[in-house]
């Protein structure tokens, strides 16, 4: 077994490796190693514990944007009582439509929280149209643009694969409502950054919450830093007070299951890349 690092050199040296446990939810770098498929190596990740944490971060971004905290926090720093800073765009999410792009483990947790807030939840899923009862419609990836036109908040929860690279492009942002928000807690490379900047600068969308970017980290002179309708966090959506101990709990449990021959937690479909 290999715990933690997954790269070609280690797998080549470890001829007897049959299982890889990674510490992240995203596994695009790991599953790109040919030896995994060639040798039928089992891969597990941290989706089980990171799903609720990342979902809370996405929800926090959504509420911060719809309640325009991005406008009020700078005013607070200036000690300015400025109710007009929201420009009449304070939004109630109850009754609004949330589109979760990628209804996997993390996406399902995001959908659960949106439903709890009274939102109509729709989603896309590459593996089929099945979903929990709190998701009113599950579409396939080729329905993304149609569903985007219905949504008030869109959250990217897709894993990074060749199929999801650059899917949020100019055509996608053109389909969004000018009052809608885009949130990305998955991977920056799923977004054509220049198209996102254009949509934000020209009022094609209302704002964005970004925990991941392309490039990452953003260079100091990048326009996303200074746009007034953007909230950026430095790829921390998966962090919480649970710390590393929660990850180790998963590792320990999976070691027990591996030795006993039981079903493992958070098994990755290497062929699909997530």
Q: Could you tell me if 59 and 104 lie in one domain?
A: yes
CATH code at 227? 3.40.50.720
Within this chain, do residues 15 and 76 fall inside the same structural domain, yes or no? no
Q: Are residues 185 and 204 in the same domain?
A: yes
Residue 266 lies in a domain: no
Question: Does 254 lie in the same domain as 186?
Answer: no
Asked if 244 and 4 count as a contact pair (C-beta separation under 8 A), the reply is: no
Closest CA to 5 of 19, 25, 23, 18: 23
Same domain? For 190 and 133 the reply is yes
Domain span at residue 15 reads: 2-45+241-260
Tell me, yes or no, whether 269 lies in a domain.
no
Note whether 116 and 161 are same-domain residues.
yes
Active site (catalytic) residues: 187, 216, 235
Residues 109/124, Cβ–Cβ less than 8 Å: no
Q: Do 226 and 256 fall within a single domain?
A: no
Whether 198 and 137 map to the same domain: the answer is: yes
User: From first to last of its 274 residues, what are the pLDDT tens digits of the chain?
Assistant: 888 878 889 899 999 999 999 988 888 889 889 999 899 999 999 877 889 999 999 999 999 999 999 999 999 999 999 988 887 689 999 999 999 999 999 999 999 999 999 999 999 999 999 999 999 999 999 999 999 999 999 999 999 999 999 999 999 999 999 999 999 999 999 999 999 999 999 999 999 999 999 999 999 999 999 999 999 999 999 999 887 888 889 999 999 999 999 999 989 999 888 8
Whether 225 is in a domain gets the answer yes
Residue 270 belongs to some domain of the structure: no
Q: Kindly report the backbone phi and psi dihedral angles of residue 60, in degrees, each rounded to the nearest multiple of 5, phi listed first.
A: -60, -40
Q: What is the pTM of this model?
A: 0.89
Domain count, the chain: 2
């Amino acid at each position: 077994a290999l715990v933690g690092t997954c790269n070609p050199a280690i797998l080549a040296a470890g001829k007897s490796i049959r299982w890889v446990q990674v510490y992240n939810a995203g596994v695009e770098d790991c599953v790109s190693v040919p030896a995994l498929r060639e040798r039928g190596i089992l891969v597990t990740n941290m989706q089980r514990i990171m799903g609720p944490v990342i979902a809370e971060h996405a929800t926090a971004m959504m509420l911060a944007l719809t309640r325009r905290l991005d406008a009020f926090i700078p005013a607070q720093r200036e000690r300015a009582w400025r109710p007009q800073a929201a420009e009449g765009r304070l939004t109630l999410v109850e009754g609004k439509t949330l589109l979760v792009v990628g209804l996997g483990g993390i996406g399902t947790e995001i959908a659960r929280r949106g439903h709890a807030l009274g939102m109509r939840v729709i989603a896309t899923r590459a593996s089929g149209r099945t979903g929990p009862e709190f998701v009113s419609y599950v579409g396939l990836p080729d329905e993304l643009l149609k569903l985007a036109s219905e949504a008030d908040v869109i959250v990217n929860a897709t894993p990074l694969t060749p199929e999801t690279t650059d899917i949020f492009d100019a055509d996608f942002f053109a389909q969004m409502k000018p009052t809608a928000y885009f949130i990305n807690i998955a991977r920056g490379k799923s977004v054509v950054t220049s198209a996102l900047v254009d949509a934000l600068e020209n009022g094609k969308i209302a704002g964005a919450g970004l925990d991941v970017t392309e490039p990452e980290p953003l260079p100091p002179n990048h326009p996303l830093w200074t746009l007034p309708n953007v909230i950026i966090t430095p790829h921390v959506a998966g962090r919480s007070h649970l710390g590393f101990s929660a990850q180790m709990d998963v590792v320990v449990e999976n070691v027990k299951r591996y030795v006993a021959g039981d079903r493992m937690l958070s098994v990755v479909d290497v062929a699909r890349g997530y």
